[in-house]
Structure 1
């Protein structure tokens, strides 16, 4: 069974990459490629068409998330597991927005990696036990709320995520600043954010990568 699962691994830390490779091969998995940057990882995924790719998030040239998005856009059938140090909800939210099934922390044991591989191969989600369930639920909830935004609100939110001011958004869309402020209020309400001055701006900046892909 394990030998039938072809795996590509990618991490820009050579020692972590070496350690993961050794653990996988010693436990009977078929690792067919490894990469130290995102571009190489993407090329391996598209060329070798592995069953599974285990990717670091923070890599040179392309991030793990960018690799997943670009591979998915190319209709790749490879399943993905993200392995990272990041526990922040913005990262979890981005993983969910890309429909990544596996999300592990680098502190997790190899037992957790095996559990994650088994789950992902069976089309199930597996998130590191170190990540609180409420963080995962909050990320899912925020993504669902984004679906309630109108087309105009999505356009405005994209500008906000790029730190464009209300005045300049109004000029670009040929509407009044007051109209943009009304849209901002509606977005804040739909996303259930605090009605403070910078709440939407800060939230949009943190979640920029998700917003720009809406």
Structure 2
């Protein structure tokens, strides 16, 4: 595909990084529809222009990159999203996979890798930075596979647990018995292969809160 036909919106709250990325993409012939310095501005540009590619930082004022992507996807935007971040932790990779984000790059990556990622996601392939170690990617994928085993009811309960809602309050919220909630908790523990008793689920849910709430 001709680069001038590849429309892109970029967002980063670091002015120098944003300017550098803009200049490099423009110099290489990409069609830059806009650049944003906060999440809300990025979301507005994406909803308005519906670019082929959204290249976003995670940590931005008003809305994070993940929140921008989730909202845009909920509104039916067909943009392919690429995260460009400093974050290497498995937690962030898992969140990206939970949101079915097309690409995840690190700010230490070369511009050549950014172009490889753009090419890959436009061909409907997932692309994660070669700087990620294989174990982190594997662990993130395994966590997502386990979460995909949960039923809609179990996901609802897991989200409430992640928000530190106790069993009785969950039962009242969902109009079911506490025994039903406990049964769901037991099933979730089994599917997630957790060890350490009933508190293990609460600890796991709090540790993975951001990923759970993205589901």
* TM-score exceeds 0.5: yes
Deviates more, 1:137-146 or 1:74-83: 137-146
**Equivalence for 1:190:** 191
| Mapped contact 1:188–1:195 kept (Cα < 8 A) | no
Pairwise CA distance, 1:3? 1.2
Pairwise CA distance, 1:167? 4.4
**Equivalence for 1:163:** 164
* Whole-angstrom CA distance in 2 between matches of 1:99 and 1:114: 20
* Whole-angstrom CA distance in 1 between matches of 2:150 and 2:157: 10
Kindly report the root-mean-square deviation, in angstroms, between the aligned alpha carbons of the 2 structures. Answer: 2.0
**Equivalence for 1:54:** 55
| Mapped contact 2:158–2:212 kept (Cα < 8 A) | yes
Deviation sequence 1:65-119 (CA, Å, 0-9, x none): 1111111122212111001111122211221122111100111111111111111
Q: Give the unaligned 5+ runs of structure 2.
A: none
Deviation sequence 1:184-203 (CA, Å, 0-9, x none): 33312211223256432232
Pairwise CA distance, 1:171? 4.8
Pairwise CA distance, 1:154? 2.2
Deviates more, 1:62-71 or 1:132-141: 132-141
* Whole-angstrom CA distance in 1 between matches of 2:113 and 2:200: 36
* Whole-angstrom CA distance in 1 between matches of 2:189 and 2:4: 50
In the TM superposition, 1:33-182 aligns within 5 A as 33-172=34-173, 173-176=175-178, 180-182=181-183
TM-score, with length taken from structure 2: 0.89
Pairwise CA distance, 1:209? 3.5
TM-score, with length taken from structure 1: 0.89
**Equivalence for 2:207:** 206
Q: 1:208 to 1:33 in 2, by over 3 A?
A: same
* Whole-angstrom CA distance in 1 between matches of 2:204 and 2:60: 24
Q: 1:74 to 1:188 in 2, by over 3 A?
A: same
Q: 1:180 to 1:77 in 2, by over 3 A?
A: closer
* Whole-angstrom CA distance in 2 between matches of 1:11 and 1:137: 28
Pairwise CA distance, 1:38? 0.7
| Mapped contact 2:70–2:214 kept (Cα < 8 A) | no
| Mapped contact 1:51–1:79 kept (Cα < 8 A) | yes
Q: 1:117 to 1:186 in 2, by over 3 A?
A: same
Deviates more, 1:96-105 or 1:198-207: 198-207
